[in-house]
């Protein structure tokens, strides 16, 4: 993808602070970290999002995200780590080359997740679980 920032990072056309690289995967520091040590893990091949990426490639970036999480925890002594993939703008995706965020968390850092949770209405959970199962 010619106009993809992360493809340009893979090619070396845009600089990045690399943490890990192999033939299929690149891990580098997010330019605007939530906390210091925030790493992005990407496949070198361009896929847009979780819908698009082949399962094997997702497995590759997941394994790397696990290794990054252990390394970030060990190196920086953080209190926790979020591993997330944002898909589509409604979910906060800004760069359309699939990437896994490895986000170090510090107690009391205030970056809460998923404010305003709701409860299921009577029968609603079963109905929605069935809908999802049938779509598999
Ligand atoms: P998302 O909102 O999930 O699409 O995340 C995109 C992430 O890419 C953001 O956290 C940005 O800070 C990060 N980002 C954008 N441009 C660069 C870049 N050139 N190098 C490193 N990280 C970047
Ligand atoms: Zn790309």
pLDDT of residue 123: 95
Q: What span, in angstroms and rounded, lies between the C-alpha atoms of 18 and 38? A: 12
- Of all atoms in ligand 1, which is nearest to the CA of residue 94? 4
Q: 71: Cβ below 6 Å to ligand 1?
A: no
Residue boundaries of the structural domains of the chain: 5-135
Q: What span, in angstroms and rounded, lies between the C-alpha atoms of 93 and 107? A: 26
Q: What is the mean pLDDT of residues 39-53?
A: 98
What are the pLDDT digits (tens) for 72-125? 999 999 999 999 999 999 999 999 999 999 999 999 998 887 778 899 999 999
Annotated catalytic residue 97: no
pLDDT of residue 60: 98
Q: Which CATH class is domain 5-135?
A: alpha beta
Q: What span, in angstroms and rounded, lies between the C-alpha atoms of 63 and 70? A: 11
Q: What is the mean pLDDT of residues 27-37?
A: 96
Report whether pLDDT(9) > 90: yes
Whether pTM > 0.75 for this model: the answer is yes
Q: Which ligand neighbours the alpha carbon of 40 most closely?
A: 1
Average model confidence (pLDDT) across the chain:
95
pLDDT of residue 111: 87
Phi, psi (degrees; rounded to nearest 5) at 59: -60, -40
CA 63 to ligand 2 centroid distance, Å: 20
Residues 53 and 44: beta-carbon distance below 8 Å: no
pLDDT of residue 114: 76
Report whether pLDDT(1) > 80: no
What are the pLDDT digits (tens) for 71-82? 999 999 999 999
Active-site residue, selected from the candidate residues 38, 46, 97, 99: 99
pLDDT of residue 63: 98
């Amino acid at each position: 993808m010619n106009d993809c920032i992360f493809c340009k990072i893979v090619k070396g056309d845009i600089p990045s602070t690399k943490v890990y690289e192999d033939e299929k995967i690149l891990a580098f520091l997010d330019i605007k970290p939530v906390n210091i040590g925030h790493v992005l893990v990407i496949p070198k091949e361009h896929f847009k999002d979780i819908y698009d990426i082949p399962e094997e490639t997702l497995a590759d970036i997941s394994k790397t995200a696990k290794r990054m999480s252990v390394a970030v925890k060990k190196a920086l002594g953080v209190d926790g780590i979020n591993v997330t993939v944002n898909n589509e703008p409604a979910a906060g995706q800004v760069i359309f080359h699939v990437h896994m965020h490895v986000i170090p968390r510090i107690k009391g850092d205030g970056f809460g997740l998923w404010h305003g949770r709701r409860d299921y209405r009577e029968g609603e959970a079963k109905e929605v679980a069935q809908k999802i199962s049938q779509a598999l």
